[in-house]
Amino acid sequence: MNQLIKDFKQSLYKGFIDKSVPYRGNFTPKLLVNNKEENILSTIIDQLHKCESFCISVAFITESGLASLKSHLLDLNKKEVKGKIITSNHLGFNSPKMYEELLKLENVEVKLTDVEGFHAKGYIFEHKDYISLIIGSSNLTSNSLTINYEYNLLLSTHKNGDLVHNVKNNFDQLWKTVSH
């Protein structure tokens, strides 16, 4: 059994069966909240810098939320890391200026869904042998990522895991149905 699989097994055991296990691996499921010590933005930035590609599905994106990630997304362009973002115009929340800024990112494809009631909030980071997911309540807004009381789960799975297959498949299906 390779080390990655061993790490996943220990992480799952600690995260879902016995919190007293002293394992401190990278794959233990984690609740992400904004507080004085850390915020959701720092975890997203960390994942972006480690990933080979990424997908983001959020209902709302603000100019300030995008600005907090823009320099990191530009750095990823230099490393040829590509990404996809699906968002919406649900309730007319997202501004035209924000869309203009998104479209300037050469390494990021953007689609706008008109799915009724679209309110998803998921971040997918593909690494060599595993995928990390952040799923929860945070849109891509500055307040959601740094200030608001939000619940998000950081989960990592082997690239062949069922959970990540379902999440990625759902994202890909939505991506295919959106024309612009």
Domain boundaries, the chain: 26-177
Can you name the residues that pair with 127 across neighbouring β-strands?
A: none
22-26, 119-123, 139-143, range with the lowest pLDDT: 22-26
Residue that wins the pLDDT comparison between 89 and 72: 72
Whether pLDDT at 89 is above 80: no
Tokens read off for 3: 């080390």
Q: What is the pLDDT of residue 168?
A: 95
| Close Cβ partners of 30 (under 8 Å, ≥ 6 residues apart) | 153, 154
CB 147 within 8 Å of CB 40: no
Percent of the chain with pLDDT over 70: 95
Whether pLDDT at 93 is above 70: no
Q: Which CATH superfamily is domain 26-177 in?
A: Endonuclease Chain A (3.30.870.10)
Whether pLDDT at 9 is above 80: yes
Q: What is the pLDDT of residue 23?
A: 78
Where are the strands (E) in 2-160, listed by range? 30-32, 53-58, 82-88, 108-113, 121-126, 130-136, 152-158
Whether pLDDT at 91 is above 80: no
Residue that wins the pLDDT comparison between 108 and 24: 108
Q: What is the pLDDT of residue 131?
A: 96
pLDDT category at 24 given cuts 50, 70, 90 is confident
pLDDT category at 136 given cuts 50, 70, 90 is very high
Tokens read off for 132: 């990390």
User: In the predicted model, what is the mean pLDDT of the chain?
Assistant: 90
